[in-house]
């Protein structure tokens, strides 16, 4: 098991791993590996777009590096959230999820991992949770909605601290079924830049997540 240049991420062979904050516990059926008395969880790029972003060439040390607080939009059952929880054991991870069914699983995960603060809410209405969340160092969004870019810039506006980092996992065909992917991504990128985000990375997540592009930047 070798450390990588991404903060807190390890590699063995072609696999990526994070150090398991809850040794002995799996979150989504992932492989566990113990090396020199430390347990690692395999981070599957087919299950987590953040892992796909790394495998497809994200810059080091990764947008979460050094974050003390994170706003995560679209937590679902907590697959990616659980790896961020491993990566940032001392940070506060505020996770917004609007589906009550998914939220139940997320809540159960948060009971076992004290750095996760789940919020059953709608990412389209950040004013409902911004006071609780406060300024954060990293905003991550994966909500697969038509208005993804607008939701993202509004959350960045209310919650991202100056100098903070932000990643939008853009699901191209949720924006529009018609038109070229290139044009849809270009328009989303322009929307982010008009909202004063400097976009430093634009990375296709294919073949791990089809028709998804990661747009990463900072304020």
Ligand X SMILES: C[S@@+](CC[C@H](N)C(=O)[O-])C[C@H]1O[C@@H](n2cnc3c(N)ncnc32)[C@H](O)[C@@H]1O
Residues 143 and 123: beta-carbon distance below 8 Å: yes
Chain Cα centroid distance, residue 15: 19
Angle among Cα 52, 97, 186 to the nearest 5 degrees reads 50
Q: Which two three-digit tokens encode residue 92?
A: 């506060």
Min CB(35)–ligand X separation in Å? 25
1 vs 22, beta carbon nearer ligand X: 22
Angle among Cα 151, 156, 162 to the nearest 5 degrees reads 170
Min CB(36)–ligand X separation in Å? 29
Chain Cα centroid distance, residue 64: 9
122 vs 193, beta carbon nearer ligand X: 122
Binding site residues, ligand X, CB under 6 A: 48-49, 73-74, 76, 79-80, 96-99, 102, 122-124, 142-145
Min CB(51)–ligand X separation in Å? 9
38 vs 112, beta carbon nearer ligand X: 112
62 vs 74, beta carbon nearer ligand X: 74
Ranked by CB distance to ligand X, the top (closest) residue is: 74
Bridge partners, 34 (sequence order): 39
Min CB(182)–ligand X separation in Å? 22
């Amino acid at each position: 098991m070798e450390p990588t240049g991404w903060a807190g991420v390890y590699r063995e062979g072609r696999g990526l791993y994070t150090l398991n904050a809850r040794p002995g516990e799996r979150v989504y059926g992932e492989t566990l590996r113990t090396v020199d008395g430390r347990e690692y969880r395999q981070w599957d790029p087919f299950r987590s777009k953040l892992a796909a972003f790394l495998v497809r060439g994200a810059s080091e040390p990764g947008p979460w590096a050094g974050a003390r607080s994170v706003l995560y939009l679209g937590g679902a059952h907590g697959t990616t959230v659980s790896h961020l929880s491993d990566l940032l054991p001392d940070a506060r991870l505020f996770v917004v999820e609007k589906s009550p069914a998914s939220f139940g699983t997320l809540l159960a995960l948060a009971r076992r991992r004290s750095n996760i603060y789940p919020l059953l809410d709608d990412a389209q209405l950040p004013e409902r949770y911004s006071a609780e969340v406060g300024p954060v160092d990293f905003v991550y969004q994966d909500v697969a909605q038509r208005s993804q870019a607008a939701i993202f810039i509004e959350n960045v506006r209310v919650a991202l601290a100056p100098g903070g980092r932000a990643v939008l996992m853009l699901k191209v065909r949720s924006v529009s079924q018609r038109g070229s992917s290139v044009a849809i991504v270009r328009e989303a990128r322009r929307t982010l830049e008009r909202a004063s985000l400097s976009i430093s990375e634009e990375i296709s997540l294919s073949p791990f997540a089809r028709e998804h592009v990661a747009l990463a930047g900072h304020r």
